Amino acid sequence: MIRFDKVSFSYNSKKILDNVDLYINNDEFLFVVGESGIGKTTLFKLMYFEEIPTSGTVFFENFSSDNIDVQEIPYLRRRIGVVFQDFKLMQDRDTFDNISLPLEIIGDKKDTIKKKVFDAASRVGLLDKLNKKPFDLSGGEQQRIAIARAIVNKPEVVIADEPTGNLDPIISMDILKLLNEINRRGTAVIIATHNFELVRKLRDKRIVQVKDQKLYEVKIRT
């Protein structure tokens, strides 16, 4: 589904990734770990073509970073649900309107939007919070809105950047279970985190570490 072929990436003169290969299957559950500032978010941005490699190629299904047309990028993005590191929720809109945003952008009909939003909200357990604004919700609930918005249009992959960053261990585990459930229903899930303790708890998952501009497969010894 996603393939990195000899990808290097630099911000100005600062090299973040050096000649890395990566293959992600369409049913994968993958953790991306690594120190703060090492390049996890950058790796994600390359996956949804927010950044283009300095050299090498990123593929998403039939899209290639070598020759993608700017006009095609919105079509690619529809197939990828992104949970941003800082949520990117709109503070002046309630839960329903935050979740519905991607559907409004593609111009779904009102009835369809309602159905899809209720479905996504029920999957993340937010049906009773649809009229609340982010300000009146907890961090865990806001994270759930961000996840609901990412899955509302049934993407093939969900990319979640540090989804447990500011949450306590119990709520973090709930969020991971939710993402695991999304994966079990047939969506690839990729999670960036520096919370290694949490990764340890789901020890049968694939882990890729970003380190020294390279990617390493990590095995947890049990």
Pick the closer one to Mg ion by CB: 40 or 144.
40
Q: 9 to 38, contacts with ligand ATP by CB under 6 A?
A: 11, 16, 34, 36-38
Segment lying near Mg ion (by CB under 5 A), choices 21-29, 35-43, 49-57, 116-124: 35-43
Say which residues have a Cβ less than 8 Å from residue 175's Cβ, sequence separation at least 6: 140, 143, 144, 147, 163, 164, 167
CA distance 2 to 155: 14
Using only the alpha carbons of the chain, give its radius of gyration.
17
* CA–CA distance, 110 with 140 (Å, rounded to integer): 28
**195 touches Mg ion by CB under 5 A:** no
From the DSSP assignment, how many helices (H) and strands (E) are in the chain?
A: 7, 10
Closest CB to ligand ATP among 45 and 79? 45
Q: Which of 100, 52, 48 is nearest to 75 (CA)?
A: 48
Q: Which of 4, 9, 41, 48 is close enough to bind Mg ion by CB under 5 A? A: 41
- Distance between the two ends of the chain, CA-based, in angstroms? 30
Instruction: Give min distance, CB of 66 to ligand ATP, in A.
Output: 22
Indicate which of ligand ATP, Mg ion, none lies near residue 91 (CB less than 5 to 8 Å, by partner kind): none
Give the H or E element holding residue 158: strand 157-161
Do residues 118 and 112 make contact, with C-beta atoms less than 8 angstroms apart?
Answer: no
Contact status: 40 vs ligand ATP (CB under 6 A) = yes
Q: Which of residues 145-184 bind ligand ATP (CB under 6 A)?
A: 162
Segment near Mg ion (CB under 5 A); pick from 41-49, 70-78, 101-109, 116-124: 41-49
Considering only 2, 4, 17, 41, the residue that binds ligand ATP (CB under 6 A) is: 41
Counting residues that bind ligand ATP (by CB under 6 A) gives 13
In terms of Cα–Cα distance, which of 14, 1, 5 is closest to 55? 5
Q: Which residues bind ligand ATP (CB under 6 A)?
A: 11, 16, 34, 36-42, 85, 162, 194
